[in-house]
Amino acid sequence: MPDYMIELRNVTKRYGRIVANDHINLGIRRGELMTLLGPSGCGKTTALRCITGHNIPDEGRVFIDGKDVTDVPTHKRELGMVFQNFALFPHMTVADNVGFPLMIRGLPKAERQKRVMEALRLIRMEEYADHYPRQISGGQQQRVGLARALVYRPKVLLLDEPLSNLDAKLREEMRFEIRDLIDRLGITAVYVTHDQAEALALSDRVAVMNAGRIEQVGTPDEIYDSPQSRFVADFIGLSDFLEGTVVAVHAPQGTAVIRVEGLELYVPVRQDMSPGRSILLFIRPNDIELLPASAEDNANAFPGVVHKKTYLGDRNDYRVLVGEGLELRVQTDGKVRFEEGERVKVHLPVAHCRVIVE
């Protein structure tokens, strides 16, 4: 039995006819940062609120540190929380803001001061103790929010889109700060976001949610490299999807041949492949190679025409027409350049053509 700090067992939460969480099972290990990732409305916040106690599930149970807390009120669950629209009290100093949760818990002043300074040290803001929120930057306010959530040494930290009010550059910096802070504390954390880059950069594991259900749980690598459904492959990173039929299986060579829109494509063989079977493949646009039309003929290299080109700074993004009406999205680094209308050769390396079994 794994040692989970937080566990959702068969949790279902409905709002009228909407099933916001549909029989969710999720175990979050001690010291792990687990991200709930998915599009707007998929049920991330609802699941988090089942952990905090702001939602009572209609079915299922919630465990924290081995204890069934389904019926325990929020303030008795020993949680630290930072929410999307969190606000510091404008008329209180940074130190008083951070110490506020201790004051309402009635801790003596000396103990409060000690813990506040400890929390400010954690976020490297001791020298701002006497500043007011309007005198510090957005990123610093966010760090103070974190210190306030951590000051009473909670068992777990819950963060719901905590960076969504920051600009893109600051968001990126804060990701590293949060990760670093959680590593130093060794605390268990649950992080909610719809931003896949944030999830991949921050998390030990990611739970990808769709329409109230968990589609896949895995490390960032597993989620990106081995998505188990079209939804996950589509939501995490960019993908070209190819629907085809198995034509031949060459087990000794480790390949199978798939027919897709008049093309014959070699892919790594799988046990469940047999001629005639329909298959869904995906390949990442940056794993496809774009070569001059004169390039040597090769397995999985097909003639094509650049239909559209978009300049993205460090990369170029191409739409290339191949075979009988297949449009592939291809991304190359900035050095590889082709023009719209140019004839090219498109190479889909065998190892990068991956099969999704749904």
Quick check: 18 binds ligand ATP (CB under 6 A)?
yes
Contact range with ligand ATP by CB under 6 A, out of 38-46, 96-104, 138-146, 264-272: 38-46
Note whether 263 and 302 are within 8 A (CB).
yes
Is residue 56 at the binding interface for ligand ATP, with CB under 6 A as the rule? no
In the sheet that holds 18-29, the strands lie side by side as 18-29, 4-15, 59-64, 67-68
CB of 164 vs ligand ATP, minimal distance in Å: 9
Q: By CB under 6 A, is residue 208 in contact with ligand ATP?
A: no
H-only helix segments in 188-288:
196-202, 220-225, 230-235
Shortest spacing between CB 35 and ligand ATP, in angstroms: 12
Nearer to ligand ATP, 45 or 97 (CB): 45
Selected binder of ligand ATP within 1, 3, 17, 40 (CB under 6 A): 40
CB of 56 to ligand ATP, least distance (A): 12
With b meaning 16 or more CB within 10 Å and e meaning fewer, what string describes 33-59?
bbbbbbeeebbbbbbbbbbbbebebee
Q: 13: which strand partners?
A: 21
Options 30, 31, 41, 60; binder of ligand ATP; rule CB under 6 A? 41
Considering only residues 26, 32, 44, 355, which one is a binding residue for ligand ATP as defined by CB under 6 A? 44
Out of 27, 38, 53, 227, name the contact with ligand ATP by CB under 6 A: 38
7 forms beta bridges with 27, 63
Smallest gap, in angstroms, from Cβ of residue 211 to ligand ATP? 9
| 263-268 vs 301-311, strand pairing mode | unpaired
Stretch that binds ligand ATP, among 42-50, 150-158, 281-289, 327-335 (CB under 6 A): 42-50
In angstroms, give the least distance from the CB of 32 to ligand ATP. Answer: 20
Alpha-carbon distance 250 to 245, whole Å?
15
Report CA-CA distances (Å) from 341 to 134, 315, 319, 335: 54, 19, 11, 19
**Which chain residues interact with ligand ATP by CB under 6 A?**
15, 18, 20, 38, 40-46, 194
